[in-house]
Amino acid sequence: MSCSICEKRPPKRYCPAKGERICAVCCGREREVTIDCPSDCSHLIAAHRYEAEHREPPTREEFPYPDVEFPPEFVYENWQVAGGIAGAILQVQRENTDLRDSAVFAALEAQAETYRTLGSGIYYERPPDALLAREVYARVSEFLKEFRQKLAEHGQASALKDSGIFQLFVFLLRIGKRETSGRPLSRAYLAFLSASFPQAEAARKEASRIIIP
């Protein structure tokens, strides 16, 4: 028998996405490119771990919004808001198994631009065109709207400014840049969000009740 992809090398790895055995070379070359790997595939997990250990850190120029700076304390102070955003993203993933990192990045980039311009006093909103990216954008917008309504009800509408929300999106995009594999079918960033915010759905609901002192 030979690998079902290259039809040359002996198949030594079981591929859960294809339901058959393929060779190690095709597994490494085609994973998350032409093979839609499930997140629990042992070969994918091992590859992500290896890549994370050997990946060169992105340069300042490669970081999203490299000129934007904020202290680490800002992120910790607003961690539950970040968790709420992650919860909205993961909720879309639970309902749409085709969601991938690229759609999440498109939604986060669009949100970042919306809040960047709001922070300068200009209203600009352009949701992504792609269906799933637009759905992520809408869910995140819904969460932020509910959260800010709760703040307003308690007389703390200015507790988290538009510029602060923009900075949270910059933070999430920078983490995404670090965590994704960069391949077309990657869900590595989604897996990271799930691992980093194990109670993300609860955090999303809780954050709408949190009043930042």
Which residues, listed in sequence order, are joined to residue 22 by a DSSP beta bridge? Answer: 13
Q: What's the pLDDT score for residue 123?
A: 83
Read off the pLDDT band of 208 (50, 70, 90): very low
86-90, 151-155, 168-172: least confidently modelled range: 151-155
- Indicate whether 146 and 200 sit together in one domain: yes
Q: pTM, whole model, 2 decimals?
A: 0.86
- Indicate whether 152 and 129 sit together in one domain: yes
- Indicate whether 91 and 35 sit together in one domain: no
Kindly tell me if the per-residue pLDDT of 73 is higher than 80: yes
CA-CA distances (angstroms) from residue 78 to 26, 96, 141, 160, 167?
43, 28, 17, 9, 10
Collapsed DSSP state (helix, strand, coil) of residue 20: strand
User: Is residue 212 in a domain?
Assistant: no
In whole angstroms, what separates CA 16 from the centre of its chain? Answer: 24
Read off the pLDDT band of 150 (50, 70, 90): confident
The domain containing residue 40 runs over which residues?
1-55
- DSSP annotation string for 49-100: HHHHHHPPPPPGGGSSSTT----HHHHHHTHHHHHHHHHHHHHHHHH-TT--
- Indicate whether 27 and 83 sit together in one domain: no
For residues 128 and 38, give the distance between their C-alpha atoms in angstroms, rounded to a whole number: 25
- Indicate whether 124 and 156 sit together in one domain: yes
User: Is residue 189 in a domain?
Assistant: yes
- Tell me the average pLDDT of the chain: 88
User: Is residue 60 in a domain?
Assistant: no
- Indicate whether 71 and 32 sit together in one domain: no
- Indicate whether 92 and 197 sit together in one domain: yes
Over residues 187-195, the mean pLDDT reads 93
Q: What's the pLDDT score for residue 23?
A: 97
User: Is residue 213 in a domain?
Assistant: no
Tokens of 29: 């070359």
For residues 154 and 152, give the distance between their C-alpha atoms in angstroms, rounded to a whole number: 5
Phi and psi at 20, nearest 5°, equal -155, 175
Over residues 181-187, the mean pLDDT reads 94
Read off the pLDDT band of 1 (50, 70, 90): confident
- Indicate whether 74 and 33 sit together in one domain: no
